[in-house]
Amino acid sequence: MSVRLHVNVDHVATLRQARGTTYPDPVQAAALCEDAGVHGITVHLREDRRHIQDHDVERLRKVARVVVNLEMAATEEMLSIAMAIKPTLVTLVPENRAERTTEGGLDVSGSLARVQSLCRRLATAGVGVSLFIDPAEEQIRASKEAGASIIELHTGDYANATTVDARLSELARLAHGAAFGASLGLRVAAGHGLTRSNVGALLAAAPQIEELNVGHAIVADAVMMGMKEAVRAFFDAMKARSTG
């Protein structure tokens, strides 16, 4: 099975917001990702709007040729935005204003009625729903009950493991979660903290994973892999001025 890749372009917007400029534009970055063959673009519209803005999601929805996956908190404000923009997919995530990035999975079993209601309303509008959860049986079972079609397993603990034992134990948890989710008929995705160094072992351990959401590492690689080219382009611009 070939695994689909969704690139999260939030941190292109982080860079833009840091300077209050109009560039770099996450929607333009999304177009470059499409050219490179990605299957989807993921954006997280946070309640504090620290990176992606509402207009980014609106513009992305208009121009994207691939899946648009809107990550959002399970709130009524976000639901009404999603109902208006109608992304291909909504991923419900927990959100805490003080966090640097999404920490921990959504507690679906602890908020089943609310998540169920959001899933139902999004499905009625033709929007698929994925739930970002820890690879625990209780959360996977609750996700099925809530009516989600996809679960995205949180790979943060795997990515952050500092010992071989911890890494293997997280891999085993993810492998079990992926197999259990698939056995319930759920589609299985994964994401958070994935890099070129840790993705191979994950996919080998959990062959049921169909889709990955990767942001930070790809944006970081883009900066490093593009740095020489950017400096050379700037030199060219300087030369053009001196001869023009």
- Torsional class of 104: left (φ above 0), alpha (ψ -120 to 50), beta (otherwise): left
Q: Is 82 in the site for ligand PXP (CB under 6 A)?
A: no
Q: Is 216 in the site for ligand PXP (CB under 6 A)?
A: yes
| Tokens describing residue 31 | 């177009």
Handedness of CA 20, 22, 27, 30 (dihedral sign): negative
Using CB under 6 A, which of the segments 22-30, 169-177, 191-199, 231-239 binds ligand PXP? 191-199
What long-range pairs does 20-25 form, CB within 8 A, spacing at least 24?
none
Q: Is 213 in the site for ligand PXP (CB under 6 A)?
A: yes
Closest CB 155 distance from ligand PXP, rounded Å: 8
Per-residue binding string, ligand PXP, 118-147, x by CB under 6 A, is --------------x---------------
> In terms of CB distance, is 27 or 212 closer to ligand PXP?
212
Instruction: Name the catalytic one among 71, 152, 170, 211.
Output: 71
44 among known catalytic residues: yes
**CA-wise closest residue to 180 among 212, 222, 209, 214:** 209
Q: What CA–CA distance (Å, rounded) separates 191 from 160?
A: 13
Q: Determine contact, residues 79/121, Cβ cutoff 8 Å.
A: yes
At residue 68, φ and ψ (nearest 5 deg) are -105, 115
Contacts of 142 (CB under 8 A, 6+ apart): 108, 109, 112, 115
Using CB under 6 A, which of the segments 107-115, 133-141, 211-219, 231-239 binds ligand PXP? 211-219
Look up residue 139 and give its amino acid. Answer: Q
From 14, 17, 53, 101, residue interacting with ligand PXP (rule: CB under 6 A): 101
> In terms of CB distance, is 128 or 215 closer to ligand PXP?
215
Using CB under 6 A, which of the segments 24-32, 167-175, 190-198, 230-238 binds ligand PXP? 190-198
Q: What CA–CA distance (Å, rounded) separates 234 from 231?
A: 5
| Tokens describing residue 24 | 């770099």
From 33, 174, 202, 217, residue interacting with ligand PXP (rule: CB under 6 A): 217
176 among known catalytic residues: no
Neighbouring C-beta atoms of residue 176, cutoff 10 Å: 16
Name residues contacting ligand PXP, limited to 31-70 (CB under 6 A).
Answer: 44
| Tokens describing residue 194 | 């994935």
Closest CB 191 distance from ligand PXP, rounded Å: 3
Residues forming the active site: 44, 71, 192
Residues that bind ligand PXP (CB under 6 A): 8, 10, 44, 71, 91, 93, 101-102, 132, 152, 191-194, 213-217
